[in-house]
Amino acid sequence: MTIEERRKERLDRGIKVRTDGIYAIMSLRELSYLTMPRLVLIVGLLILPLVMPSMYWQRVISIVCIYSLLALSFDFLAHFLGLVSLGGAFFIGTGGYIAAIMNTYFGMPPLLTIPIATVVGAGICTLLLLPCLPLRGVYFAIVTLMYPLVLARIIEALNILGGTDGIYGVASFANRWIEQYFVILMVLLFLFGMRRLVNLDIGLVFRAVKDNDQAVRASGMNITFYKAIAVFIASGVGCLGGACLAHIYMWSGISQFALDFSIIPIAATVIGGAGTLVGPVLGCFILVPINELLRAFGTFRILIYSLILVAFIVFRSEGIMVYGQRKYHQFERWVKI
């Protein structure tokens, strides 16, 4: 008696193969296969502020975008370089404080403070993280975990930079439309920008540093240097978020080093699909509104996120976007062995 065994086989869909490379312009159908998801994303994000029922929800969108920037930087570092950043709060805090200082002490408008905070913040963060870059990923995680906690304590103890109260009176954006569209544009810019970056030659070097750093060293490249570049980019994105946040809340303080900023990007990445860069953004769009709704429950929400995060990791769930991309590009069928 023969036992019939089957296995699942995954094949690229016909249309995916047809749209490889220049053949995509063969017909409208192939073109739309490629461009539709991206168009939906872009258009959706752009009309979002217009359809929001109240100012409260418009504010929520801005906050979601800031978390998305953080999640992008987390996903980029974790899955393309193997550096797990357990303290997104570090970037937000640095960017926020620099923007606040530029604005209140030096009187610069948001137009200037945001770029300055991004670049200077990225520089400071990279410098502070430099000692652990030549080492294994664990050390990076430890150091990024520590910095927000310790920096918050230093500020509190020394009572500098506004101490526990923080820096008040930071100017806000000209009006709420600029506020929302600016952060949405930033998210779109960095989302597509990073996707492009990881497929450039330097992006390949980043991925090689993660998978096979000895081979990269044997080719004469200094891995610490490339990790530093990546950290600069990622922390720049985070500091940008922090600077925007300072202008949105018109305030910058210790709670910017809070746990929310550390755990939500991680949870968003794991839920949304790690490695896709779109997944984390999607994850933020799911988690942050829930976060706002649950604010009344105090730190219960962090407990829930942590548990969901653990569940996702333990059950090796791929994440929404990874699943979605797989379904979109491939189909499955049973074949006889």
Partner 1 sequence: MDILIYGTINSIALAIMAMGFALVYGISRVPNFAHGALYVVCGFVTWSLLRGLGLNYLVSILLAMIITGVIGALIYQFVLIRVRGMAISEIIASYAIGLAILEGFRWWGFKGMTYTLPVFVEGSINIGDIPVDLHRVVIVGICAAVVAFLWLFTHYTRIGLALRGMAQDERAALMLGIDSDLMAVVAMAFGSMLAGLAAVLLLPLGNIVVEAGYNVLILAIAVCIVGGLGSWMGAVIAAFLIGFAQILTVVYWGAHYQMVVALLAIIFTLILKPSGLFGRQKELEERV
Partner 2 sequence: MNNQPILQVQEVTKAFGGVIAVNGVSLDVNEGEILGIIGPNGSGKTTLINCITGFIKMTSGKIFFRGKDITGKPAHKIADMGITRTFQIMRPYYSLPCYKNLVIPLFSPRAKRTGGWRGGGKLGDRDTVSIDILEEIGFERDSFVPYKLASTLPTGYLKRLELARCLAVKPEIIICDEIFSGLSMSEIASMVPLIERLQMDGITLIMIEHRLRELFRVSNRILVLNFGEKVIEGTPEKIMADEKVKEVYFGSEEVEEVMSHA
Residues between 252 and 311 that touch partner 2 (CB under 8 A) = none
CA-wise closest residue to 116 among 240, 285, 250? 240
Q: How far is the CB of 140 from partner 2 (least distance, A)?
A: 20
205 binds partner 2 per the rule CB under 8 A: yes
Query: Of the candidates 202, 293, 307, 310, which one interacts with partner 2 according to CB under 8 A?
Result: 202
CB 171 within 8 A of CB 110: yes
- Contact letters (x/-) for partner 1, 38-77, by CB under 8 A? ----------------------------------------
Count of residues that bind partner 2 according to CB under 8 A: 18
The verdict on 153 binding partner 2 (CB under 8 A) reads no
Closest CA to 152 of 168, 143, 164: 164
Mask for 210-229, x = binds partner 2 (CB under 8 A): -xx-xxxxxxxxxx------
Q: How far is the CB of 75 from partner 2 (least distance, A)?
A: 17
- The residue count of the chain comes to 337
Give the interface segment with partner 1, choosing from 35-43, 58-66, 296-304, 323-331 (CB under 8 A): 296-304
Distances (CA, A) of 136 to 189, 235, 258: 31, 19, 26
Residue 168 tokens read as 């008040």
Least distance to partner 2 from the beta carbon of 12, Å?
14
CB contact set of 8 (below 8 Å; sequence gap of 6+): 332, 333, 334, 335
Bridge partners, 222 (sequence order): none
Of the candidate spans 35-43, 243-251, 285-293, 301-309, the one that interacts with partner 1 by CB under 8 A turns out to be 301-309
Residues 6+ apart with CB under 8 A from 181: 46, 49
Q: How far is the CB of 202 from partner 2 (least distance, A)?
A: 7
Residue 156 binding: pick among partner 1, partner 2, none (C-beta 5-8 Å cut-off by kind): partner 1
**Residue 74 backbone phi and psi in degrees, to 5:** -65, -50
SS percent in the chain: helix, strand, coil, step 5: 75, 5, 20
Question: Quick one: 292 exposed, middle or buried, by C-beta within 10 A (0-12, 13-18, 19+)?
Answer: middle
Binding site for partner 2 (CB under 8 A): 201-202, 204-205, 207-208, 211-212, 214-223
Binding site for partner 1 (CB under 8 A): 78-79, 82, 84, 86, 131-132, 134-139, 141-143, 145-147, 149-150, 153-154, 156-158, 213-214, 259, 263, 266, 270, 297-300, 302-303, 306-307, 309-310, 313-314, 316
